[in-house]
Every structure is written in structure tokens, then in C-alpha cells.
Amino acid sequence: MHRRGGGARRCQQVGGPVNLKAFFVTTLSSALDLGIAIPEDVLRHVTPDVLAANLPRPLWARLLTACLGAPRVDAQLVVETIGVPNLCEHIPAQIIWGCIQELAVRSLSGVVMAAAEPLVQRAPVAASAPISRPIPLATPPPPPAAEPKVAATPPMGVMGPSIPAPGAAPVEQPDLDPVGRPRVPPGQRFRQSSSGIGRLAGNTASARRPQAQAAPPAPPPVVEPERDRSGTIPRVKRGQTDGDFDLETFVGGKDDWKNALAVEDEQLVDWSAADETVTTGEELGRKR
Amino acid sequence: MSNDQRQAWFARVMESGLENDIFAPSDVLTHATPDVLASHLPAELLSRVLSASLAAGSMTPERVLETVTPELLAKHLPHEVLWQCIAAAAARAGVSKSVGP
């Protein structure tokens, strides 16, 4: 069994283990906390003579100071001032044990402590004493009318705009700013989305920047290119202008650009008269 | 005082006695004999004690008190038994010549 150096000598006097005092502290403290014991039970064993014989002078000084400053001196004050650890430290273990033993006997016998009731009632009495006894005041209390009335909702009409109640009907009067002038509704603070359908409305035309009026493009001819059985676009034969499937026809549909790019007849090359070109089958056979 | 207060106090005293080596678990089982434990502990608690001992391979007083904590001792065992344990430890410590009240 472990023995602690600090308290070994004292415990050797009674032959007990060194943790006996800690056991006493826990036992007595919990008994007081749980109402198993009251401070009078402690002072019944730890009498003033016992305290005088065993309590150190500094603790006596503390106790005297507390008693002199307290309006009432009772067992609770003594026990709380000294403290259970100090009691168990300085009071002989046989006396503390006698107190604990008495508590155990009383607890096991089921005796209800009659003296425990004043402890319970002490706090409410002490708490209600200042209330039941009138306290003289230097100045009389202010009349009830002088008390500032705290409105649930302070009036806001002076400092800010009048905001109608959520359920109230809209008031048909111009809104006023703090100065009293009619408030001009602010403009659009956020840019409208370009993808909104409202952009196509007529009133939005003035909001946009002026732009040059462009002639509406002619709707592209709905020409469904004929597809062969394989699903590919058929090749265009040169010279077939009517059925010529050309991309430019989808863009403009006019011949202005063709006039600008007109080619004179002199500029044309007679491919059949050229030397390098073999056009007839006879010449082809002869060369071979 | 109510039974709850007395039970809490005995639980605290038993816990403090074990913590401060006032008495050992074997001292507790000297008073809380197997007959006492079997007579007062609920079946569920007895099962836990046996399960813990089977898992550990042995049943020791320390292992019994690991399952049957001081709170459970004070809850299920007669407080007279617990007090006999406490008083006997005090007698061994020399603070009391009598074993019990």
C-alpha cells in the first residue's frame, strides 16, 4: 500500500493508510453536499475545544475574521470557513470517523434529520428578507407616468420613407423623400438580360443605341437539295445554272457580284485549240 | 433524507475508499459475498460479470468491481453490507475499534 511522505507521520500515529484523509474529505464533503449531514453534525464532534486544541493559528485567525464580519455565526459558517479538507487535515481521525460513523448509523436507521430543514429553508428566507423589508430610498420613486414608455414599434415616418404594411393596400399618393419632394423612381439599376424576351418588345428599341437600319435580308430560298439514295449531295454539272447548287445563292440571291466579276469573251481560253491539250481520240491514239 | 441521497453517498464513499486504498476490491467481496451478489444483483448484471470474466479468462475481485461499479453496489446491495466493509477498513486503519454501528 502506498504511503505519501507528507502525511505519513500523522497517519502512522493511527496506523492507517496515507489516503485516509482524502477518504474522509470525500466522505464528509459528499455527505454535506447530499444532505446526509449538516454542519451541526460536524460541530457536534468537532467542538470548539477540539478546534482550539488542533486548529492552527492562521486558520483560527481566518475563522475569527469571518465570524466578526458575518451577521450571524453558526455551524455552517464555521465549517465553510475552515473547510472540510482543513478539518480532516488537522482534526484527529478518530473524531472525524466518529462523525462519519454517526452519519452512517443515522443513514442506515432511516432517521430523518429534523435539523436539515432549516438548511433548506435558510436560503429562501435569506433571499426573501430584503424583499419583505422595505428599503428606505433617498429619493422617492418616480411616478408611473414618468416612466419611459417603450413602444413596440417606434415611429419611422420622420426618419425614413413610409413603407406600407405588408397587408395594407397601396396608397395612391406620391412618395416623398425626407425633404418632402416627390421621389423620382430610379431607373433600371441592372442591365437587362440580352436573352430576355422583353428585348424584342417595341419599347426597348428606344433604349438601344441607334443603329443603321439594315435592309432585312431576303429569306433564303427553301431549297431542299436533292439527295440520292446514298444520302449525299449530288454533284453539280458545269453549265447547269438553274439547278446549280451554289452556296452564294443562299446569301444574296442577286447577280450584282456576278456582274462585277464578268469575264469578257477574249479572256476565255479555247481549250480545244490549245496544243497541249488532247481533245480528240485520234490524236490520242496517234501519240500513243 | 431520501434513499437516492443515501445511495449516492454510499456510492461516493465506496468509490473514495477504493480510490484512496482504504479498502481493496477483495475487501469489498469479503462482505459482498457471492451469495450477497447473487441475491441482490439483477440477472443482467450477473451476466455481464460472468461474460467479462469469461472473456478475460478469470474472475477476480478487481474485474468484478469493474463491472459492478460503486454506483451499482450502492444501488443494488444493502447499504449495511457496504457499511460493514467501510467500518472494517476504518478499524484496520485504527481510527475505529468497532467494526460497525
Domain membership of residue B42 (yes or no) is yes
B99 occurs within a structural domain = no
Whether residue B100 lies inside any domain: the answer is no
Cα–Cα distance, B10 to B76 (Å, whole number): 11
Q: What is the pLDDT of residue A45?
A: 94
Is B98 a member of any domain? no
The pLDDT value given to residue A230: 46
* ipTM of this complex prediction, to 2 decimal places: 0.72
Give chain A's contact residues with B (Cβ, < 8 Å). 1-2, 14-17, 19-20, 22-23, 26-27, 30-31, 34-36, 93-94, 96-98, 101, 104-105, 107-108, 112-113, 116
Distance from CA of A81 to the nearest CA of B (A): 23
Residue B44 inside a domain? The answer is yes
pLDDT average per 10 residues of sequence, chain A (288 residues): 41 55 94 94 91 88 85 89 95 94 90 47 36 38 42 43 47 46 47 42 46 55 48 46 47 53 64 52 47
The pLDDT value given to residue B53: 87
Boundaries of domain holding B53: 3-93
Q: Rounded to whole angstroms, how far apart are CA atoms A204 and A236? A: 47
> Which residues does chain B have with pLDDT short of 70?
1, 97-101
pLDDT digit string (tens) for A143-170?
444 444 444 444 444 444 445 444 444 4
Contact list in B for residue A45 (CB cut-off 8 A) is none
- Helical pair A93-109 and B3-19, crossing angle rounded to 10 deg: 140
What does the block give as the cell for A214? 439594315
Number of domains in chain B: 1
pLDDT of residue A32: 95
DSSP labels, A136-204: P-SSPPPPGGGSPP--SS---TTTS-----TTSPPP-S--B-TTSPBPPPP---SPPPTTSGGGGSGGG
A31 contacts B21? CB cut-off 8 A: no
Shortest distance between the Cα of A59 and any Cα of chain B, in A, equals: 24
B16–A35 CB contact, under 8 Å: no
**Residue B41 counted as domain residue:** yes
